Amino acid sequence: MDSLYDDAELYDLVAPPDAAMERFYVEAAGGPGRRVLELACGSGRFTAPLAASGALVIGGDLAEPMLARARAAVAERGASADLVQLDMRDFVLGRHFDAIVIAANSLMHLHSRADFARACSTIRQHLAPGGRLLFDVFVPSARLLSLPAGQRELLGVFQHPQLGEVSIEETISYDPITQVSRADWYWSTAERRDFRHTPLELRQIFPQELPLLLEAGGLRLVERFGDFDRTPLTAASHRQVCICSAMV
């Protein structure tokens, strides 16, 4: 069984560039001389444009294959950034940042309340006065979380430069006590069914509990939107796009 983050090229199939996400994070966090830390930076799809905006960027991730891809992405933009291996729950960089970014649901890898508190506390210690934490997480989907165990649903069909057409099916199993959903992704081509199997466990963070989790780690929710165009969060929203500050 593989990790989703073992193969950066396959990861990029399911996490392609998103102009609206990129614009939000660059406008809210980037800019010449801004000190930016991107946690769970992955393959660099936000690291690269943040660095290209003139920001002084550090990107951190646990997976070395993703960091290697991020270094290449930054170089392709003619920019520079420091890419380091770190765990967002516990790191010491010895500097402070104007913005800390955790994009694309990466905060949902913090499964327990203790993990969330550790990460928030560490982030708070790295924010400069007036600094902001920016992140986005899904609004939990009642439909997806109530799917019968083992029932496969098509996640998408993607075009790979060597493998050709790749389809991904997923099953979802949700534990309502821990609020962790386990998705199992099955990757197939026309010739090779289920050639890859990747699990993905994500903590579901409900809108009413999110401010409480942040406050337990010393952070305050300043603004929350329903999408990257800063539309209001409503019952129809699929995302929580958040801007936070350190509590005083």
| Amino acid residing at 33 | G
Interior/surface letters 72-95, b for 16+ CB within 10 angstroms, e for the rest: ebbeebebebebeebebbebeeee
What pLDDT does 73 receive? Answer: 97
Mean pLDDT of 20-33: 98
Q: What is the pLDDT of residues 30-61, one digit of tens each?
A: 999 999 999 999 999 999 999 999 999 999 99
What pLDDT does 191 receive? Answer: 95
pLDDT at 1 over 90: no
Phi-psi region of 44 (alpha: psi -120 to 50; beta: other; left: phi over 0): left
CB-count burial class (<10 Å; 0-12, 13-18, 19+) for 171:
middle
Task: Compute how many other C-beta atoms are within 10 angstroms of the C-beta atom of residue 107.
Answer: 25
What pLDDT does 229 receive? Answer: 98
| Domain coordinates in residue numbering, the chain | 8-139+206-246, 142-203
pLDDT at 104 over 90: yes
Identify whether the C-beta of residue 43 lies closer than 8 Å to the C-beta of residue 59: no
What pLDDT does 123 receive? Answer: 98
pLDDT at 80 over 90: yes
What pLDDT does 224 receive? Answer: 98
What pLDDT does 2 receive? Answer: 85
Mean pLDDT of 11-27: 95
Query: Would the pTM of this model clear 0.85, i.e. be above it?
Result: yes
What pLDDT does 108 receive? Answer: 98
Identify whether the C-beta of residue 83 lies closer than 8 Å to the C-beta of residue 47: yes
What pLDDT does 248 receive? Answer: 82
Q: What is the pLDDT of residues 112-168, one digit of tens each?
A: 999 999 999 999 999 999 999 999 999 999 998 998 988 999 999 999 999 999 999
What pLDDT does 169 receive? Answer: 97
What pLDDT does 117 receive? Answer: 96
Domain covering 8-139+206-246: architecture: 3-Layer(aba) Sandwich (3.40)
Q: Please give the C-alpha separations between residue 144 and each of 14, 169, 195, 201, in angstroms, as whole numbers.
A: 18, 13, 24, 14
Q: What is the pLDDT of residues 201-239, one digit of tens each?
A: 999 999 999 999 999 999 999 999 999 999 999 999 999
What pLDDT does 149 receive? Answer: 85
